[in-house]
Structure 1
Amino acid sequence: MGNPNKNIVVHRPKDLSVKWAQRIVNRFAPDARVFGVDVYSVDVGTSTRLRAEVHHDANGAVPARWFIKTPSLALKPRLITAVPRFLHKEVSFYRSLSAGIPLKLPRILAAESRFGRGSTLVMSDLAEYDFRPGMAADALTYDQASRVITHLAQLHGHYRNKPSLLHGHRWLNGFSHQMENHMGTLMAYPFMKRGLHQAGGLIGKKLHRPALNYAVNRRAIKQLLNTDAKTLVHYDCHPGNIFWAGAEPGFLDWQLVRIGEGIGDVAYFLATALEPQLRRKHEKSLLDQYVEQLANTGAAGLDEDNLLRRYRMHLVYPFEAMVVTLAIGGMMQHETNLELIRRAAAAVEDHDSFAMIKA
């Protein structure tokens, strides 16, 4: 049958034709027939996310509801994400690495990336299996946070200091990663300054100067935050990139996946997913749980005090990410963006994270 992922790249909703869907269905049921495709949802942000009902007779072999990701139809997000090829990176993750991930992931139907033509990712809609998608502004409970922390520890422990498991996946920290760092460094100061202004009273004035100093020194700080034990990290672990199969979490949106420090995922998650009051109450127990679960995977050489220090330092990244997202605009629903800034700013202030970096 040849390459089952070939010729499935689309750019706009009208490209989701019967012929296009037929190529994907043929991968699972060569004799099945597609009768129609109805696009019923279009969401434009860092990517364009389409939901479609595909009418076919491959019942049981192929789901009826599909979720499709393509490059953003909005100009600014498309420019920001196209150069570092974020969607291409996610396609690479699902095609070459996801099978070994010890986490619940969505079912992928097809994935293709073509240089100069774009990338498309097609998966089963979460509703097909009664999974509940998370929303970025969700404030998780302690029990939910505990389950996510357990799964992150399993991921990080599986790959921690085991470069052989990631051998051959140079794209993880390759061109996309380098371009992202380069662009982030170039844009850090003007976007941080603009985002601080737009956030208004959500970010205390005492954080403004340290945040701008961070932006000026971003390249060196990012290197500093990547010097401890290495593992595979999601790098964008907020509530909107988590789905729920009953009480158990699954993980979506692997556009920023890379090799880095696992505690960075924990910092990003706790800073964005919990109300500050709940985070303050349970933060220590959740971090203790992470260390315990990490040890249960066989991870050696754990230094709990050092991990806590690294955690406090890594909190600067979710703060930066949310402030810069606000400055760019169009990448996240506005009120949601402000809520995540409020949470991340509280975490940074609680831990004096910019001073930790400076020290």
Structure 2
Amino acid sequence: MSLDVALSPEWLTEALNVPVHGVTIADTIGGVATKIRFTIDTEAGTHRHYCLKGLFTNEPAAAHARITRTETSFYRDLAEKVGVAVPTCRYAAVDEEQGNGVIIMEDIVEKGGRFLTALEPYTPEEARSSLRELATLHAANWGRPDGPSWLRNRLDDLAAAPLRTEAEHQDLMDDPRGDSLPGELRDAKRITACLRALADRTADQDATLVHGDAHAGNIYLLADSVALIDWQMLQRSHWSIDVAYHVGAALSVEQRRTTERDLLDHYLDHLTELGAAGVPDREQAWTDYRAAVAYGFYLWSVTRQVAPAVTREFCLRLGTAVDDLESYALLDV
């Protein structure tokens, strides 16, 4: 589907089930998927504000199409069941022509929400709020042996089929993203080995629903709440990859070092309050957390389509966490 079709009054009338007489674009936001904030004029003379999200290219990359289908399936099948704050979704379906997902949701900005940027200062107190959201998500599927058929374990997928060849990955780590890291943390082969060891370590452990990409750039603030956005990396995996990635990426190195044990305890307490059975004890959870930071570091070590300043900072934060927490030694790589 082209963007012209998706924003046409005719298509929107069918998708939103309301007569649309006119469409005004307020903002266009690029990324893996394009997001368009727009307003419709209805037959009754009212204005309604929405956000359209999808891949509107002639030949979307297969990997990108797959993750948009994951997010579409989340809004279609799970968003109202898991208890976390999400934008109200008005349309979620897969474009059968191209195989990618298309979503129309309420316009959070129009509601007074504010999307954070990846490098915006984020406080430990805000992290406590977002960790409560992650605990709510995890608790919704905690202890269940399976999930929807479309939901994969992306950690296992990445370990089995890395996103970059070893040479491509090393070229990326030799660019400025690795400048602030010691040599052993710039070794692409070792970064991938660490991810594979993490996948092996968690293979026999209980899996639950995890967001999979919970850095501060995927958070928005409303007057009284913190909420997660961008569910393209949703997966069934170990709880620790969300918590370690979130704390390691959202906070500065200094903040993480002084607050991460307390933040982990806060997450575990909230998970217990929500009724999750078999929540790990503090020491086991700390060990799991120390290993799991390897996941976020891998993702940012192979990322291409993001501003270099963001990639450099996240590689610094997450790579330093891998070093501080002795993840390599723990995973025996």
Q: Is this a same-fold pair by TM over 0.5?
A: yes
**SS of residue in 2 equivalent to 1:187:** coil
> Hey, what's the Cα distance between the residues in 2 that align with 1:184 and 1:260?
16
Deviation at 1:43, TM superposition (A): 2.5
> Hey, what's the Cα distance between the residues in 2 that align with 1:220 and 1:149?
25
Report the equivalent of 2:324.
350
Report the equivalent of 1:249.
226
CA 1:288/1:201 → structure 2, altered by over 3 Å: closer, same or farther?
A: same
CA 1:254/1:237 → structure 2, altered by over 3 Å: closer, same or farther?
A: same
Structure-1-length-normalised TM-score: 0.83
Report the equivalent of 1:163.
145
> Hey, what's the Cα distance between the residues in 1 that align with 2:79 and 2:323?
36
Deviation sequence 1:288-315 (CA, Å, 0-9, x none): 1111112212223322211111111110
- The answer to whether the 8 Å contact 2:208/2:236 transfers is yes
Give the number of aligned pairs. Answer: 330
Name stretches of at least 5 consecutive residues in structure 2 with no aligned partner. Answer: none
**SS of residue in 1 equivalent to 2:272:** helix
> Hey, what's the Cα distance between the residues in 1 that align with 2:132 and 2:50?
29
CA 1:178/1:322 → structure 2, altered by over 3 Å: closer, same or farther?
A: closer
Match of 1:317 among 292, 295, 304: 295
Report the equivalent of 2:54.
70
- The answer to whether the 8 Å contact 1:41/1:52 transfers is yes
Deviation at 1:182, TM superposition (A): 7.2
Deviation at 1:46, TM superposition (A): 1.3
Deviation at 1:212, TM superposition (A): 2.0
**1:242-281 → structure 2 map (5 Å cutoff):** 242-281=219-258
Match of 1:96 among 77, 80, 91: 77
CA 1:72/1:34 → structure 2, altered by over 3 Å: closer, same or farther?
A: closer
Match of 2:263 among 260, 279, 286: 286
Runs ≥4 residues deviating over 6 A: none
- The answer to whether the 8 Å contact 2:178/2:312 transfers is no
Structure-2-length-normalised TM-score: 0.89
Name stretches of at least 5 consecutive residues in structure 1 with no aligned partner. Answer: 1-9
> Hey, what's the Cα distance between the residues in 1 that align with 2:183 and 2:324?
14
Deviation sequence 1:97-142 (CA, Å, 0-9, x none): 1111111001111011034423211111111221111222223111
**SS of residue in 1 equivalent to 2:80:** helix
Say yes or no: does 1:109 pair with 2:90.
yes
> Hey, what's the Cα distance between the residues in 2 that align with 1:59 and 1:189?
57
Match of 2:151 among 152, 157, 172: 172
- The answer to whether the 8 Å contact 2:23/2:41 transfers is yes
Report the equivalent of 1:23.
14
**SS of residue in 2 equivalent to 1:160:** coil
> Hey, what's the Cα distance between the residues in 2 that align with 1:105 and 1:234?
12
CA 1:122/1:186 → structure 2, altered by over 3 Å: closer, same or farther?
A: closer
Deviation sequence 1:10-34 (CA, Å, 0-9, x none): 33356411112211332xx4xxx32
Report the equivalent of 1:126.
108
Report the equivalent of 2:201.
224
> Hey, what's the Cα distance between the residues in 1 that align with 2:16 and 2:23?
12
Structure 1 or 2: more helix by fraction:
1
Report the equivalent of 2:190.
213
Deviation sequence 1:224-270 (CA, Å, 0-9, x none): 23432221111111111111122411111111111111111001100
> Hey, what's the Cα distance between the residues in 1 that align with 2:114 and 2:203?
33
- The answer to whether the 8 Å contact 2:253/2:320 transfers is yes
**1:73-84 → structure 2 map (5 Å cutoff):** 73=57, 78-79=60-61, 81-82=63-64
- The answer to whether the 8 Å contact 1:192/1:320 transfers is no
- The answer to whether the 8 Å contact 2:2/2:58 transfers is no
**SS of residue in 1 equivalent to 2:151:** helix
1:150 partner amino acid: R
CA 1:188/1:80 → structure 2, altered by over 3 Å: closer, same or farther?
A: farther
Deviation at 1:179, TM superposition (A): 9.8
- The answer to whether the 8 Å contact 2:71/2:231 transfers is yes
- The answer to whether the 8 Å contact 1:153/1:290 transfers is yes
CA 1:129/1:286 → structure 2, altered by over 3 Å: closer, same or farther?
A: same
RMSD over aligned Cα atoms:
2.6
> Hey, what's the Cα distance between the residues in 1 that align with 2:121 and 2:307?
16
- The answer to whether the 8 Å contact 1:44/1:72 transfers is no
